[in-house]
């Protein structure tokens, strides 16, 4: 539409930061460096992103949510492994990234780990877990019908995949998440390849 310089300041900042990450994953996104790259003052940057953490989270989230379709298993044109990976990515996307991931984790922790015993929330959790397992099993059943699934019981495969998704979700909330976006994709693919044939 128009020259990047004519975009609003917030966008200029995000574009500058994303560009810098693109130039090298090991880039230090300091306030001054990003502000200078965006042609904006540090104070202006802080106006839109009150803390450096918020800036980082917003950038990473933007890089990750570039594409999100609805049920990917239904698309018969894509190979099985690719479809399953997309499905798991849908699960993963529900925890979000950055501060969203952290907030979701705090909720889960407070409800099901810290409050264990003090309040009987176990049934709720187990119900949700069942739902998740069922959902993955339904995806895997489609693949089995196509003969694209390795031998083994459906529930075992489903629980394995959910464990990987849980691990990745957790790692999204831990420090250094931004630097691990690459290995997240690789791990997801490895998990899928352990299940499809």
Partner DNA sequence: ACCTGAACACCGTTCAAGT
Residues in touch with its own copies (CB under 8 A): 51, 53, 99, 102, 105-106, 109, 112-114, 116-117, 121-122, 125-126, 129, 152, 155-157, 159-160, 162-168, 170-171, 173-176, 180, 183, 186-187, 190-191, 193-195
DSSP 113: I
Q: Which of residues 2-21 bind DNA (CB under 7 A)?
A: 8-10
Q: Does residue 53 belong to the site contacting DNA (CB under 7 A)?
A: yes
Question: Both tokens of residue 173?
Answer: 């909330």
Residue 86: contacted member of its own copies, DNA, none (CB under 5 to 8 Å, by partner type): none
The answer to whether the beta carbons of residues 195 and 160 sit under 8 Å apart is yes
Q: Is the dihedral of CA 84, 163, 104, 140 positive or negative?
A: positive
Contact 154, 144 (CB under 8 A): yes
For DNA, the binding residue among 24, 43, 147, 182 (CB under 7 A) is: 43
Q: Closest separation between CB of residue 189 and its own copies, Å?
A: 9
Integer angstrom CA distances of residue 3 from 7, 68, 100, 115: 7, 28, 32, 53
Strand segments (E) across the chain = none
Residue 32 interacts with DNA (CB under 7 A): yes or no: yes
**Which residue among 27, 52, 121, 187 contacts DNA (CB under 7 A)?**
52
Q: For the stretch 141-152, what's the b/e string if a residue is b when 16 or more beta carbons lie within 10 angstroms of its beta carbon?
A: ebbbeeebbeee
* Partner that binds at residue 126, options its own copies, DNA, none, CB closer than 5 to 8 Å by kind: its own copies
Picked from DNA, its own copies, none, the partner binding residue 79 (CB below 5 to 8 A depending on kind) is: none
Interface residues with DNA (CB under 7 A)?
8-10, 28-33, 40-44, 46-48, 50-53, 117
């Amino acid at each position: 539409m128009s020259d990047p310089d004519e975009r609003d300041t917030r966008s200029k900042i995000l574009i500058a930061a994303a560009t810098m990450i693109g130039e090298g994953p090991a880039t230090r996104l300091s306030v001054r460096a990003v502000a200078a790259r965006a042609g904006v003052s540090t104070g202006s940057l802080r106006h839109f992103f009150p803390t450096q953490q918020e800036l980082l989270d917003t950038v990473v989230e933007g890089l990750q949510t570039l594409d999100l379709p609805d049920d990917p298993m239904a698309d018969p044109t894509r190979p099985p492994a690719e479809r399953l990976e997309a499905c798991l990515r849908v699960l993963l996307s529900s925890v979000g990234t950055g501060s969203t991931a952290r907030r979701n984790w705090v909720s889960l922790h407070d409800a099901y780990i810290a409050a264990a015993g003090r309040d009987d929330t176990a049934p709720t959790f187990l119900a949700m877990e069942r739902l998740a397992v069922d959902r993955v099993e339904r995806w895997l059943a489609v693949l089995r019908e196509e003969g694209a699934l390795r031998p083994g019981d459906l529930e075992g495969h489903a629980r394995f995949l959910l464990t990987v998704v849980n691990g990745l979700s957790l790692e999204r909330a831990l420090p250094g998440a931004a630097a691990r976006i690459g290995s997240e994709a690789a791990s997801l693919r490895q998990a899928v390849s352990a299940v499809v044939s």
